[in-house]
Amino acid sequence: MRHVALVVVGAVALLSWVACERRDAPPGSTSAGTAAAPPAPSSPAIGEQVVELVVEGMHCATCPITVRTAARSVPGVVDVEVTMSPGRARVRYRPSETDSTRIAAAITDSGYPAHEVNK
pLDDT at 114 over 90: yes
Q: How many domains are contained in the chain?
A: 1
The pLDDT assigned to 85 comes to 84
CATH of the domain at 87: 3.30.70.100
The pLDDT assigned to 47 comes to 86
Task: List, for residues 26-66, the tens digit of each pLDDT value.
Answer: 444 444 344 455 555 566 778 899 999 999 999 998 999 99
Which band of pLDDT confidence, cut at 50, 70 and 90, is reported for residue 1?
low
The pLDDT assigned to 116 comes to 95
Percent over 90 (pLDDT), the chain: 55
H/E/C letters for each residue in the chain?
A: CHHHHHHHHHHHHHHHHHHCCHHHCCCCCCCCCCCCCCCCCCCCCCCCEEEEEEECCCCCCHHHHHHHHHHHCCCCEEEEEEECCCCEEEEEECCCCCCHHHHHHHHHHCCCCEEECCC
Q: Domain limits at 6?
A: 2-116
Which band of pLDDT confidence, cut at 50, 70 and 90, is reported for residue 2?
low
